[in-house]
Amino acid sequence: MGRSRIVSILLVAVLLAAGCQNPGADEDDGSLRRIVYLTAFGATGRDAFAWVAQEKGYFRDAGLDVEIRLGAALSDNMRTLAAGRADFMNSDLIGGVISAGQGTFTGFRVFAAIHQQSLVSIVTPADGPIKKPADLAGKRLGAATASVNQVLFPAYAKATGLDPAGVTWVNAAPAQVPALLASGRVDALCTFLIGRPGIEAAAGKQMTVLPFSDALPDTFGNALTTSASLAESDPDLVRRFRDAALRGLADTLADPRAAAELLHERNPASTVAAAEGEITLMAPLTTPTGGGPLGSIDRDRLTRAIAMLTDAGLFAPGLTADEVVAFPLTPGS
Protein backbone atom coordinates (compact mmCIF):
# COMPACT_ATOMS: atom_id res chain seq x y z
CA MET A 1 0.00 0.00 0.00
CA GLY A 2 1.46 3.37 -1.04
CA ARG A 3 2.27 6.12 1.43
CA SER A 4 -0.39 8.47 0.03
CA ARG A 5 -3.02 5.75 0.40
CA ILE A 6 -2.10 5.18 4.05
CA VAL A 7 -2.22 8.90 4.78
CA SER A 8 -5.66 9.16 3.20
CA ILE A 9 -7.01 6.28 5.31
CA LEU A 10 -5.61 7.79 8.50
CA LEU A 11 -7.09 11.17 7.66
CA VAL A 12 -10.56 9.68 7.11
CA ALA A 13 -10.29 7.82 10.43
CA VAL A 14 -9.36 11.00 12.27
CA LEU A 15 -12.25 12.92 10.73
CA LEU A 16 -14.72 10.17 11.58
CA ALA A 17 -13.47 10.02 15.15
CA ALA A 18 -13.75 13.78 15.49
CA GLY A 19 -17.31 13.68 14.18
CA CYS A 20 -18.26 11.01 16.72
CA GLN A 21 -16.56 12.59 19.71
CA ASN A 22 -17.16 16.31 19.19
CA PRO A 23 -20.56 17.25 20.65
CA GLY A 24 -20.61 20.35 18.47
CA ALA A 25 -20.15 18.44 15.25
CA ASP A 26 -23.84 18.69 14.40
CA GLU A 27 -24.15 22.39 15.18
CA ASP A 28 -25.60 24.78 12.66
CA ASP A 29 -23.43 24.92 9.57
CA GLY A 30 -25.31 27.89 8.20
CA SER A 31 -28.04 25.85 6.52
CA LEU A 32 -30.56 26.40 9.31
CA ARG A 33 -32.92 29.37 9.51
CA ARG A 34 -32.19 31.33 12.67
CA ILE A 35 -35.29 32.10 14.72
CA VAL A 36 -35.97 34.01 17.94
CA TYR A 37 -38.83 32.70 20.09
CA LEU A 38 -40.28 34.35 23.20
CA THR A 39 -41.85 32.36 26.01
CA ALA A 40 -45.15 33.56 27.42
CA PHE A 41 -43.47 34.69 30.61
CA GLY A 42 -40.16 33.59 32.05
CA ALA A 43 -39.38 29.89 32.32
CA THR A 44 -42.39 28.00 33.67
CA GLY A 45 -43.98 24.62 33.08
CA ARG A 46 -46.40 25.94 30.47
CA ASP A 47 -43.45 26.93 28.28
CA ALA A 48 -41.36 23.78 28.78
CA PHE A 49 -42.40 22.37 25.41
CA ALA A 50 -40.11 24.81 23.59
CA TRP A 51 -37.02 23.40 25.31
CA VAL A 52 -38.29 19.86 24.69
CA ALA A 53 -38.61 20.60 20.97
CA GLN A 54 -35.13 22.08 20.99
CA GLU A 55 -33.56 19.24 22.98
CA LYS A 56 -35.10 16.50 20.84
CA GLY A 57 -34.01 18.15 17.60
CA TYR A 58 -37.51 18.88 16.32
CA PHE A 59 -36.61 22.45 15.41
CA ARG A 60 -33.43 21.29 13.70
CA ASP A 61 -35.39 18.66 11.78
CA ALA A 62 -37.58 21.51 10.54
CA GLY A 63 -34.51 23.42 9.34
CA LEU A 64 -34.59 25.88 12.23
CA ASP A 65 -32.00 27.14 14.69
CA VAL A 66 -34.23 28.50 17.47
CA GLU A 67 -33.04 30.82 20.20
CA ILE A 68 -35.46 30.68 23.14
CA ARG A 69 -35.70 33.95 25.06
CA LEU A 70 -37.66 34.50 28.24
CA GLY A 71 -40.75 36.58 27.64
CA ALA A 72 -42.19 39.31 29.82
CA ALA A 73 -45.65 40.87 30.02
CA LEU A 74 -47.88 40.48 26.96
CA SER A 75 -47.51 44.15 25.99
CA ASP A 76 -43.71 43.90 26.17
CA ASN A 77 -43.70 40.75 24.05
CA MET A 78 -46.02 42.35 21.51
CA ARG A 79 -43.68 45.32 21.20
CA THR A 80 -40.70 43.00 20.71
CA LEU A 81 -42.55 41.13 17.97
CA ALA A 82 -43.70 44.34 16.30
CA ALA A 83 -40.13 45.68 16.30
CA GLY A 84 -38.88 42.57 14.52
CA ARG A 85 -36.71 41.45 17.45
CA ALA A 86 -38.59 38.15 17.68
CA ASP A 87 -40.13 35.87 15.07
CA PHE A 88 -42.52 33.82 17.21
CA MET A 89 -43.89 33.93 20.73
CA ASN A 90 -46.23 32.15 23.10
CA SER A 91 -48.91 34.61 24.15
CA ASP A 92 -52.37 34.76 25.68
CA LEU A 93 -54.82 34.53 22.79
CA ILE A 94 -57.62 36.41 24.53
CA GLY A 95 -55.14 39.06 25.64
CA GLY A 96 -54.22 39.42 22.00
CA VAL A 97 -57.88 39.73 21.03
CA ILE A 98 -58.35 42.51 23.57
CA SER A 99 -55.21 44.29 22.33
CA ALA A 100 -56.42 44.06 18.73
CA GLY A 101 -59.95 45.15 19.64
CA GLN A 102 -58.63 48.17 21.50
CA GLY A 103 -56.22 48.97 18.67
CA THR A 104 -53.15 48.67 20.91
CA PHE A 105 -51.47 45.91 18.89
CA THR A 106 -52.81 44.68 15.57
CA GLY A 107 -49.84 43.44 13.53
CA PHE A 108 -49.79 39.86 14.86
CA ARG A 109 -51.40 36.55 13.93
CA VAL A 110 -52.02 33.46 16.05
CA PHE A 111 -51.52 30.09 14.32
CA ALA A 112 -51.84 27.38 16.99
CA ALA A 113 -53.57 27.14 20.38
CA ILE A 114 -51.61 25.73 23.30
CA HIS A 115 -54.56 25.90 25.71
CA GLN A 116 -58.10 25.42 24.44
CA GLN A 117 -59.47 27.15 27.53
CA SER A 118 -58.40 30.27 29.37
CA LEU A 119 -56.04 29.66 32.27
CA VAL A 120 -57.21 32.78 34.11
CA SER A 121 -58.80 31.95 37.44
CA ILE A 122 -59.50 33.14 40.94
CA VAL A 123 -57.24 31.28 43.37
CA THR A 124 -58.17 31.59 47.03
CA PRO A 125 -57.57 29.65 50.29
CA ALA A 126 -59.86 26.63 50.56
CA ASP A 127 -60.52 27.49 54.21
CA GLY A 128 -61.47 31.08 53.39
CA PRO A 129 -64.83 32.77 52.75
CA ILE A 130 -64.68 32.80 48.93
CA LYS A 131 -66.53 29.81 47.51
CA LYS A 132 -68.22 31.31 44.45
CA PRO A 133 -67.85 34.44 42.25
CA ALA A 134 -70.44 36.40 44.26
CA ASP A 135 -68.23 36.05 47.34
CA LEU A 136 -65.61 38.30 45.68
CA ALA A 137 -67.70 41.40 46.43
CA GLY A 138 -65.79 43.71 48.72
CA LYS A 139 -62.64 41.58 48.59
CA ARG A 140 -59.04 42.43 47.67
CA LEU A 141 -57.69 40.73 44.56
CA GLY A 142 -54.01 40.40 43.72
CA ALA A 143 -52.78 40.30 40.13
CA ALA A 144 -49.65 40.83 38.09
CA THR A 145 -49.22 44.39 36.89
CA ALA A 146 -50.64 44.91 33.37
CA SER A 147 -51.70 41.26 33.13
CA VAL A 148 -54.50 39.88 30.97
CA ASN A 149 -56.03 38.48 34.16
CA GLN A 150 -57.13 41.88 35.43
CA VAL A 151 -58.09 43.07 31.94
CA LEU A 152 -60.40 40.08 31.45
CA PHE A 153 -62.04 40.40 34.87
CA PRO A 154 -64.88 42.76 33.77
CA ALA A 155 -66.11 40.13 31.31
CA TYR A 156 -65.99 37.47 34.05
CA ALA A 157 -67.81 39.79 36.44
CA LYS A 158 -70.53 40.50 33.90
CA ALA A 159 -71.00 36.79 33.19
CA THR A 160 -71.30 35.96 36.89
CA GLY A 161 -73.45 38.92 37.94
CA LEU A 162 -70.68 40.59 39.93
CA ASP A 163 -70.02 44.34 40.00
CA PRO A 164 -66.40 44.70 38.77
CA ALA A 165 -66.08 47.90 40.78
CA GLY A 166 -66.83 45.98 43.94
CA VAL A 167 -63.31 44.56 44.26
CA THR A 168 -60.05 46.25 45.19
CA TRP A 169 -56.98 45.44 43.12
CA VAL A 170 -53.48 45.03 44.50
CA ASN A 171 -50.81 44.72 41.82
CA ALA A 172 -47.30 43.29 41.98
CA ALA A 173 -44.56 42.00 39.73
CA PRO A 174 -45.48 38.50 38.46
CA ALA A 175 -42.94 36.70 40.63
CA GLN A 176 -44.27 38.47 43.72
CA VAL A 177 -47.96 37.72 43.18
CA PRO A 178 -48.08 34.52 45.33
CA ALA A 179 -46.55 36.47 48.20
CA LEU A 180 -49.53 38.86 48.18
CA LEU A 181 -51.76 36.01 49.31
CA ALA A 182 -49.21 34.34 51.58
CA SER A 183 -48.70 37.61 53.48
CA GLY A 184 -52.43 38.29 53.83
CA ARG A 185 -52.38 41.46 51.74
CA VAL A 186 -55.17 40.09 49.52
CA ASP A 187 -58.09 37.70 49.89
CA ALA A 188 -57.55 35.97 46.55
CA LEU A 189 -55.43 36.07 43.43
CA CYS A 190 -56.53 36.59 39.87
CA THR A 191 -53.93 34.46 38.12
CA PHE A 192 -53.38 31.33 36.03
CA LEU A 193 -54.92 28.17 37.47
CA ILE A 194 -51.81 26.10 36.68
CA GLY A 195 -49.89 28.23 39.17
CA ARG A 196 -51.83 26.64 42.02
CA PRO A 197 -49.01 24.33 43.20
CA GLY A 198 -46.61 27.24 43.63
CA ILE A 199 -49.25 29.35 45.37
CA GLU A 200 -50.08 26.52 47.76
CA ALA A 201 -46.40 26.06 48.52
CA ALA A 202 -45.98 29.78 49.24
CA ALA A 203 -49.09 29.99 51.43
CA GLY A 204 -48.67 26.61 53.10
CA LYS A 205 -52.33 25.68 52.56
CA GLN A 206 -54.73 24.24 50.01
CA MET A 207 -56.38 26.52 47.45
CA THR A 208 -59.77 26.67 45.79
CA VAL A 209 -59.76 27.56 42.09
CA LEU A 210 -62.60 29.36 40.29
CA PRO A 211 -61.73 29.15 36.56
CA PHE A 212 -62.90 31.99 34.34
CA SER A 213 -63.66 29.35 31.68
CA ASP A 214 -66.61 28.13 33.78
CA ALA A 215 -68.34 31.44 33.04
CA LEU A 216 -66.53 32.23 29.76
CA PRO A 217 -66.39 28.82 28.02
CA ASP A 218 -65.32 30.14 24.61
CA THR A 219 -62.10 31.78 25.79
CA PHE A 220 -58.71 30.31 24.87
CA GLY A 221 -55.43 30.37 26.77
CA ASN A 222 -51.91 30.66 25.38
CA ALA A 223 -51.22 30.35 21.66
CA LEU A 224 -48.31 30.41 19.22
CA THR A 225 -48.12 33.81 17.57
CA THR A 226 -46.12 35.54 14.85
CA SER A 227 -46.23 38.86 13.03
CA ALA A 228 -48.88 39.38 10.38
CA SER A 229 -46.12 40.15 7.87
CA LEU A 230 -44.26 36.88 8.47
CA ALA A 231 -47.47 34.87 8.34
CA GLU A 232 -48.14 36.36 4.91
CA SER A 233 -44.62 36.36 3.48
CA ASP A 234 -43.39 32.95 4.66
CA PRO A 235 -46.25 30.59 5.58
CA ASP A 236 -43.99 27.56 5.10
CA LEU A 237 -41.67 28.81 7.85
CA VAL A 238 -44.63 29.30 10.18
CA ARG A 239 -45.88 25.77 9.51
CA ARG A 240 -42.44 24.25 10.11
CA PHE A 241 -42.09 26.06 13.42
CA ARG A 242 -45.67 25.16 14.36
CA ASP A 243 -45.23 21.45 13.75
CA ALA A 244 -41.90 21.25 15.58
CA ALA A 245 -43.26 23.17 18.59
CA LEU A 246 -46.39 21.01 18.77
CA ARG A 247 -44.26 17.85 18.67
CA GLY A 248 -42.48 19.26 21.71
CA LEU A 249 -45.83 19.99 23.34
CA ALA A 250 -47.08 16.44 22.74
CA ASP A 251 -43.94 14.99 24.33
CA THR A 252 -44.22 17.40 27.25
CA LEU A 253 -47.78 16.33 27.96
CA ALA A 254 -46.78 12.66 27.70
CA ASP A 255 -43.94 13.00 30.22
CA PRO A 256 -44.36 16.09 32.45
CA ARG A 257 -41.54 15.03 34.78
CA ALA A 258 -38.94 14.78 32.03
CA ALA A 259 -40.04 18.13 30.58
CA ALA A 260 -39.85 19.76 34.02
CA GLU A 261 -36.37 18.37 34.63
CA LEU A 262 -35.19 19.67 31.25
CA LEU A 263 -36.70 23.08 32.00
CA HIS A 264 -34.81 23.18 35.30
CA GLU A 265 -31.60 22.09 33.61
CA ARG A 266 -31.87 24.93 31.11
CA ASN A 267 -33.27 27.43 33.64
CA PRO A 268 -32.00 26.63 37.16
CA ALA A 269 -34.28 29.24 38.76
CA SER A 270 -37.27 27.06 37.90
CA THR A 271 -38.25 24.18 40.17
CA VAL A 272 -39.03 20.69 38.92
CA ALA A 273 -42.02 20.17 41.23
CA ALA A 274 -43.74 23.44 40.29
CA ALA A 275 -43.12 22.94 36.58
CA GLU A 276 -44.36 19.35 36.65
CA GLY A 277 -47.45 20.50 38.53
CA GLU A 278 -48.17 23.19 35.93
CA ILE A 279 -47.82 20.78 33.02
CA THR A 280 -50.05 18.19 34.69
CA LEU A 281 -52.75 20.77 35.39
CA MET A 282 -52.66 22.24 31.90
CA ALA A 283 -52.78 18.87 30.10
CA PRO A 284 -56.59 18.54 30.05
CA LEU A 285 -56.85 22.10 28.73
CA THR A 286 -54.87 21.33 25.58
CA THR A 287 -57.43 18.95 24.05
CA PRO A 288 -59.54 20.64 21.32
CA THR A 289 -63.20 20.57 22.31
CA GLY A 290 -64.30 19.70 18.79
CA GLY A 291 -61.93 16.77 18.45
CA GLY A 292 -59.49 18.46 16.09
CA PRO A 293 -55.70 18.06 16.13
CA LEU A 294 -53.51 19.43 18.90
CA GLY A 295 -53.21 23.19 18.47
CA SER A 296 -56.30 23.67 16.34
CA ILE A 297 -58.49 26.75 16.75
CA ASP A 298 -62.27 26.72 16.35
CA ARG A 299 -63.29 29.82 14.39
CA ASP A 300 -66.86 29.78 15.72
CA ARG A 301 -65.68 29.59 19.35
CA LEU A 302 -63.30 32.49 18.86
CA THR A 303 -66.02 34.51 17.13
CA ARG A 304 -68.29 33.94 20.14
CA ALA A 305 -65.46 34.95 22.49
CA ILE A 306 -64.95 38.19 20.57
CA ALA A 307 -68.68 38.92 20.76
CA MET A 308 -68.65 38.27 24.52
CA LEU A 309 -65.72 40.64 25.05
CA THR A 310 -67.44 43.27 22.92
CA ASP A 311 -70.67 42.85 24.89
CA ALA A 312 -68.69 43.27 28.12
CA GLY A 313 -67.52 46.66 26.87
CA LEU A 314 -63.84 45.80 26.51
CA PHE A 315 -63.76 47.18 22.96
CA ALA A 316 -66.10 48.37 20.22
CA PRO A 317 -67.75 45.96 17.75
CA GLY A 318 -66.05 45.21 14.44
CA LEU A 319 -63.12 42.91 15.21
CA THR A 320 -63.21 39.57 13.38
CA ALA A 321 -61.52 36.26 14.17
CA ASP A 322 -59.49 36.50 10.95
CA GLU A 323 -57.87 39.69 12.19
CA VAL A 324 -56.37 37.73 15.06
CA VAL A 325 -55.84 34.17 13.75
CA ALA A 326 -54.20 33.07 10.50
CA PHE A 327 -56.62 30.16 10.04
CA PRO A 328 -54.90 28.76 6.90
CA LEU A 329 -51.80 28.20 9.08
CA THR A 330 -53.56 26.45 11.97
CA PRO A 331 -53.25 22.65 12.46
CA GLY A 332 -55.69 20.68 10.37
CA SER A 333 -56.41 23.55 8.00
| Average pLDDT over all residues of the chain | 90
pLDDT tens readout for residues 43-73: 999 999 999 999 999 999 999 999 999 998 8
pLDDT greater at residue 11 or residue 152: 152
Sheet with 222-227, edge to edge strand ranges: 64-69, 33-38, 88-92, 222-227, 108-113
Output the pLDDT for position 29. 55
What confidence tens digit (pLDDT) does each residue in 260-290 have? 999 999 999 999 999 999 999 999 999 998 7
- Alpha-carbon span 163 to 183, nearest angstrom: 26
| Residue 9 in this model has a pLDDT that exceeds 50 | no
Could you tell me if 90 and 119 are in contact, meaning their C-beta atoms sit under 8 angstroms apart? Answer: no
The 10 Å CB-count burial string (b at 16+, else e) for 264-295 is: beebeebbbebbbbbbbbbeebbebeeebebb
Q: What is the pLDDT of residue 8?
A: 39
What's the whole-model pTM score? 0.88
Q: What whole-number percentage of the chain has pLDDT above 90?
A: 80
pLDDT of residue 74: 87
pLDDT band at 3 (very low <50, low <70, confident <90, very high): very low
**pLDDT (mean) for 31-54:** 96
Does 27 score more than 80 pLDDT? Answer: no
Strand arrangement of the beta sheet that strand 188-192 belongs to: 168-172, 140-144, 188-192, 120-125, 207-211
Among 13-17, 225-229, 237-241, 315-319, which stretch is predicted with the lowest mean pLDDT?
13-17
List CB contacts of 132: < 8 A, sequence separation 6 or more.
210
48 — phi, psi (to 5°)? -60, -30
Mean pLDDT, rounded, for 320-324: 98
pLDDT of residue 201: 86
pLDDT in tens, 98-133: 999 999 999 999 999 999 999 999 999 999 999 999
Give the pLDDT score at 121: 96
Residue 20 reports pLDDT greater than 80:
no
Helix ranges restricted to H, the chain: 3-21, 48-55, 58-61, 74-82, 93-101, 148-160, 177-182, 196-203, 228-233, 235-254, 256-266, 272-282, 299-311
For residue 2, pLDDT over 90 is answered with: no
User: What does the pLDDT read at residue 195?
Assistant: 86
Q: In this model, does residue 249 exceed pLDDT 90?
A: yes
* Across 3-19, average pLDDT: 37
List, in order of start, the domains of the chain with CATH numbers: 33-117+219-329 (3.40.190.10), 120-214 (3.40.190.10)
Amino acid at 189: L
Phi, psi of 88 (to 5 degrees): -140, 160
Tell me, what's the pLDDT at 41?
87
* Model pLDDT, residue 28: 53
The 10 Å CB-count burial string (b at 16+, else e) for 305-328 is bbebbbebebbeeebebeebbbbe
Give the model's confidence band at 17: pLDDT under 50 very low, under 70 low, under 90 confident, else very high.
very low
Other beta carbons within 10 Å of 153: 22
